Amino acid sequence: MTTSLPTGRLGWTDMLLTRIGFGAWAVGGGGWAYAWGDQDDAESIAAIRHALESGVNWIDTAAVYGLGHSEEVVAAALAGLPEADRPYVFTKAGLVWDPADRTLAPRRADHPASLRAEVEASLRRLRVERIDLYQMHWPAEDGTAVEDYWQTFNDLKREGKVRAIGLSNHDICQLEAAQSIGNVDAIQPPFNLIHRNAADDVLLWAREHEAGAIVYSPMASGVHRRTRGPPGARRLAGRRPRLRRPGAVAQSRPGRGPAPGRRTPRRDARRRRHRLDAVLPRCDRGHRGGSAARAGRRLAARGDPGTERRRSGRHRRGHPCHRSRDRARIAFFLLCGSSPPAGSELGTT
């Protein structure tokens, strides 16, 4: 489908994805172990179509969402659309459930026969001849090697049942093991302003191997929608003193100093420093003249020979302060739609 929204290529594939996709976990409805509650299918279909009309060109679902119902809702929403207007459809395998008891938690299944049965069921529910991106939902929990089920995924790709293959919720060691069998087209880790471990972990792996990357829970399951900025910054803003007049600077009062709550240059500098301390990593604070920098200057004044060595050490690549800034940059790309690092495309579900 054509779209007016910014797009980026998903790794080595020929798919150009919009920065935001439609995540179909919740539309699976209630009545199963990891449900988000009952949903109105008509409203879910309307939401999907509204996303497509707005330019979103991919949908991410999974067989386990609603125990198959999410895929059926996606198929209903796409029914009747011309081929040129159809979005890319992604789904996942590796979690199976007991039809006799929907309340039981799904179990991980990674045997070739199970995966082949799952892909056939997903093709039938989605009413498509080929799945655009087929992902292993979670690693095996019974000790089965990644290479075993990744070989099955590569076979499905060669047979034309899936267009691209990916791994969700896998760590770097597992990605390396899979890469030795066949190319990992895409990964899908959780990533948001609260859970940022993927920024200097699997997302860096994806960049180095030029694999695509989409992330889930970018809004932390609704947490970010209820706040305005980092939690520390919000708490600090709540303690900010009120000023009697915007931009007012207090005048000194003989014998008593400035009036409480009034602005002075010294108080303004202190407030700026505290606001930065609320959102910057601890090791970054010395870069803008905080306590670490002042301590370094005191040591230098005493002639400490290790001062320059310690000071320069903060600027080495790989130091935690640089990793923190890398994570912040990726978060900025995710929230603002800027271009992510080369070779890694960030989408949302």
Q: Cα angle at 314 between 313 and 319, to 5 degrees?
A: 100
Q: Using CA atoms, how far apart are residues 263 and 260, in angstroms rounded to an integer?
A: 9
Please name which of 133, 19, 125 lies closest in space to residue 77, comparing C-alpha atoms: 125
Known catalytic membership, residue 216: no
Q: Which of 65, 88, 134, 149 is catalytic?
A: 65
E strand or H helix at 18, and its extent?
A: strand 16-18
19 vs 338: CA distance, rounded Å: 9
* Closest by Cα among 116, 126, 115 to 90: 126
156 contacts: CB under 8 Å, gap ≥ 6: 115, 116, 119, 134, 162, 165
The Cα–Cα gap between 291 and 175 comes to: 41
CA distance 267 to 269: 5
* Side chain identity at residue 91, one-letter code: T
Contact between 8 and 16 under an 8 Å Cβ cutoff? The reply is yes
> Quick one: tokens of 217?
């829970």
Catalytic residue numbers read: 65
